[in-house]
Structure 1
Amino acid sequence: MKMRLAKLSAALLAVFAVNNAYAAEVNCSQSYGIQSTVNGIVGQTYCDNNSQTFIDLVKKLKDSNPNYNETAVTEVLGRFNDADITMNYRDSSTTLEFSSPDLGVEKQTFTGATRKESQDMFVDWLKKSGIITQVMQYQSKNSANSPITGSAGLMPTLARNDFDTATESTSNVANTSKMETVSGNLVGLGLNVGSYSIAGGEKVDTATLPLSYTKKMASDPRKQLIFTVPISMYQVGSAKGYHVGLGLAYRFPVNDRWTLTPAARYAVTGSVDRATVASVISGSLTSTYTIPLDQFELTVANMVGYYSTGKFKAGEYSFNPKIKETMLRNGVMLSQPFYLKGKKLAAEYSVIDTRYVGSNKPFMSNMQEYGVTVGLHKDEAENNPKLSNIRVGVTYMHGKGSKGFTANMGYWF
């Protein structure tokens, strides 16, 4: 009798744990996490920034809890790209049950000849069923760490590129990141680096090479056709991802103070480590207007852009997250000339507000940037070619769930 009561108590404990696991969350501040409970015995919690850690532990549950065996009642709390999930073996069978209220999935089952086959079936489904589309949509809506719309995401990166392309002609700092060709056209080189802190403890580091080629129109050199190829890398812990794009913009002056710049881009983002892959096509229009203020100049810039994801393949992942956003980016820049050891320099201070509009806003629905750039004044560039090779700038950004700094540098090489 005592033995039967002991077995009954153990069974009730396991069932109780399974039912509570469905409503619980893994205690993890990173994008991927897993914790296994076997016959009521709770295992260690594993957290990481890399999706492969999650997949490896799902395939080998014994690595997350040494009490696991092929017949044990098992419940798994997990996190995948910031979406909370549960997986259960509710009895001694080989049927694995998957649920995620965050993703709108309830009791999706996988039954193989063995539990290992069931777990392999789940991993295969995760990569190929289209569930990643829902995962990326959820992450965009609920995390500042989204590779699509987060602080280092592809969409805000493209918006920043569009805005910078349009406003660089209004700067009084010598354009040190450009080399003039024999034809008078310009080749642009530079380096931008950034570091962002995400609420919860994650850190995102970025590096961007903003490559460009500017063709001046013979009829009016102020009219310019600009080809851009920005290449970006971001890193979250050991996980890396990349943004690569191709852009075309046409800068034309309406008058001496007012310039319009329409632009179009196609870009891709891919990270096997972050289980994310997508393309983005975009179009934008930026207006810049410069107002002389004695020795100062004030430039007002306004941009509207539309960004829509498409399908792209990287590794075993090939999905379209179906995210469409309209973004406004508005800013002011004050240019101040000053002298240092007889050289005319320029310091430029900028305040920029970026926000999404419409009913489908992401988690980071708006962000603000405060920047300063210092370099040789363009009036001095021809007389001081060596000094005109150096330009530095720094920007502080903050938004919902994220804050950080970016630095930009230019040099002829």
Structure 2
Amino acid sequence: MKKAVVALACAAAMGSVQAGDLFELDVLVNSSQQASRGFNSAMDMIDTLSDDGLRSLVSTYTDQSAAQASLFIRGLPAEAEYRANSPALYFRVPSLGISQTFAGATRDESEEMFKNWLKGEGQASLTAMLKELARVSPVDPVAGNPGSLMGQMVASDFGNAMDTGFVEPGGSSKPANAGLVGLEYGQYSSGDYKQNVTRLPLGWNWGFANGYIFKLDVPLSYASTEGAKTGAFSVGGSLLIPVVRNWYLTPALRIGATGSEDLAAAAMMYSGSLTSRYAFEAAGLVWGITNMVGIYRTQSLKAGDYDIDYDLSNTTFRNGVDVGGKLPGNYGWRAWIIDTRFTGDELYSNNYQEYGVAGNMRVDVGGVILDKATLGLTFIHGQHDVHGVKLNFGYKF
């Protein structure tokens, strides 16, 4: 009966919570007074479970009041409760069977213990909650959407193979060394949430005899999700291996990390992938077929007060077809369709598709056709109404 009263009271109070809030707290004090507040920082929401925080919502609250709260954590429902005349904080995630009690000498101490639990002291229970967030949250920074760390690492591995054109294996010429600098801006949305991601791709190519090319890339990114800030980076190495004319295989290894205090999330991730690309000419156009399979896994990340483990393991299949042609001078165009699918641990969006077009300035360097400068636009559509658009610029020197 008490849970029904809480649910009804919280529904009545929802008017004060904005649709784009990542975190929500709906509280009922002494079974009679209710209030709601939305947040875009996990720690701001947890701080509201302190005495001062609850008093700011309901002025008649005291440290002896009974208070039941429904929490909305980036898409995951949870409950928190103080019982009358008790300092203990009870936290539950019914869908996962998680039930924790934080028994401090005061309610402020109990709230601080809960905060430390979220930073890593929760161990197995916290990992279960984070894993569930990757499944139910449209804006998880680690996995489940194109702007996440996993989504960006997949795109980088695939792009390193797809962005190389014709290779002459067994030739005497050595592909030229080249550096890459770029700038990419992406805006993604799902439901009521919007995410803006700015990436700075940095890379270096070293050419070897017989057409082999080693690529090292270090993409950096910054994301703003409804005001919540996230940083991420990865380091990847790949080796382009010519097989026959215009067909090559690219094995790659990568390690990356992301963290966001606002979203109470952090992870390290490592991956191994193998990509096949075949390019050919037909009807006066250059066509390419690129197929990748990769394994992406998280491991625990210890940074400052945080010790977090998502325990995700996913196999990714990314397949694309592209076509390009010449424009006057040394310029050209390119268009593509790419399909990305994840298997393994369930994610919020297990598949999405990309449709893009780009203009470029092309040069032939040692048997390799390079896009010297590229300006591209990509549209993304995926499972669970995931939408996105990316604008990118790249320059090789």
What is the TM-score normalised by the length of structure 1? 0.84
Moved more, 319-328 or 91-100: 91-100
Give the unaligned 5+ runs of structure 2. 168-174
The aligned counterpart of 2:114 is 122
Matched, 1:396 2:385: no
Indicate whether 1:378 and 2:363 are aligned. Answer: yes
Pair 1:103 & 2:62 matched: no
The equivalent position to 1:74 in structure 2, one of 58, 67, 75, is: 67
Provide structure 1 residue ranges, at least 5 long, that are not aligned to the other structure: 1-15, 173-182, 383-387
**2:76 aligned residue (71, 79, 83):** 83
Relative to structure 1, is the Cα distance of residues 390 and 100 closer, same or farther in structure 2, using a 3 angstrom cutoff?
same
Spell out, residue by residue over 1:108-148, the C-alpha distance to the aligned partner (whole angstroms, 9 max, x if none). Answer: 22223222222222222232222432222011111221112
- Partner-residue secondary structure (3-state), 2:347: coil
Q: 1:57 aligns with which of 31, 37, 48?
A: 48
Q: Deviations over 1:295-333 (max 9, x none)?
A: 101100000000000011233221111000000000000
1:238 paired to 2:227: yes
The verdict on how the C-alpha distance between 1:45 and 1:25 changes in structure 2, with shifts beyond 3 A counting, is closer
Which residue is 1:158 aligned to? 153
Helix, strand or coil at the partner of 1:189: strand
Structure 1 residue matching 2:48: 3-state secondary structure: helix
Q: Is residue 144 of structure 1 aligned with residue 138 of structure 2?
A: yes
Question: Hey, what does 2:291 align to over in structure 1?
Answer: 302
Please show how residues 242-261 of structure 1 align to structure 2 within 5 Å: 242-261=231-250
Match of 1:368 in 2: 353
Q: Deviations over 1:138-174 (max 9, x none)?
A: 11111221112123111111010001001111289xx
Task: Specify whether residues 97 and 17 from structure 1 end up closer, same or farther in structure 2 by C-alpha distance, changes over 3 A only.
Answer: same
Among 178, 184, 188, the residue aligned to 1:186 = 178
Partner of 1:406: 390
User: What residue in structure 2 maps to residue 35 of structure 1?
Assistant: 26
Report the counterpart of residue 4 of structure 1 in structure 2.
none
Contact 2:295 / 2:314 at 8 angstroms: preserved in 1?
yes
Q: Give the secondary-structure state (helix, strand or coil) at the position aligned to 1:195.
A: strand
Query: In 2, distance between residues paired with 1:349 and 1:25?
Result: 49
Decide whether the 8 Å contact of 1:346 with 1:376 is kept in 2.
Answer: yes
Q: Does residue 1:216 correspond to 2:210, yes or no?
A: no
Residues 113, 197 of structure 1: alpha-carbon distance in 2 compared, 3 angstrom cutoff: same
> Separation in 1 of the partners of 2:264 and 2:108?
22
Residue of structure 1 equivalent to 2:333:
347
Counterpart residue identity of residue 267, structure 1: G
Going from structure 1 to structure 2, the CA distance change for 1:18 and 1:347 (only over 3 Å counts) comes to same
CA contact (8 A) 1:144 1:198 kept: yes
C-alpha distance in 1 between matches for 2:109 and 2:279:
65
Whether the 8 Å CA contact 2:180–2:394 is kept in 1: the answer is no
Q: 1:47 maps to what in 2?
A: 38
Rounded Cα–Cα distance in structure 1 between residues aligned with 2:55 and 2:3: 18
Amino acid at match of 1:154: L
In 2, Cα distance between equivalents of 1:134 and 1:236: 23
Which secondary structure state, in structure 2, belongs to the residue aligned with residue 254 of structure 1? strand
SS at match of 1:124: helix
Secondary structure class of the residue paired with 2:218 = strand
Matched pairs, number: 374
Q: Does structure 2 retain, via aligned residues, the 8 Å contact 1:143–1:364?
A: no
Match of 1:264 among 253, 275, 281: 253
Report the residue type matching 1:37 in the other structure. L
Mapped to 1, the partners of 2:278 and 2:205 lie a distance apart of 21
Mapped contact 1:102–1:138 kept (Cα < 8 A): no
Structure 2 counterpart SS, 1:283: strand
Q: Secondary structure of 2:219's match?
A: strand
Contact 1:195 1:406 (C-alpha < 8 Å) held by counterparts = yes
Select between 27-36 and 233-242 the one with higher mean Cα deviation: 27-36
Between stretches 136-145 and 86-95, larger displacement belongs to 86-95
The residue aligned with 2:313 is 324
Q: What is the TM-score when the length of structure 2 is the normalising length?
A: 0.88
The equivalent residue for 2:172 is none
CA separation of 1:202/1:74 partners in 2, compared to 1, >3 Å: closer, same or farther?
same
1:171–1:216 CA distance, 2 compared to 1 (3 A) = closer
CA distance in 2, matches of 1:24, 1:356: 39
Measured in 1, the distance between the counterparts of 2:64 and 2:263 equals: 32
Partner-residue secondary structure (3-state), 1:144? coil
Deviation at 1:410, TM superposition (A): 2.5
The SS at the match of 1:273 is: coil
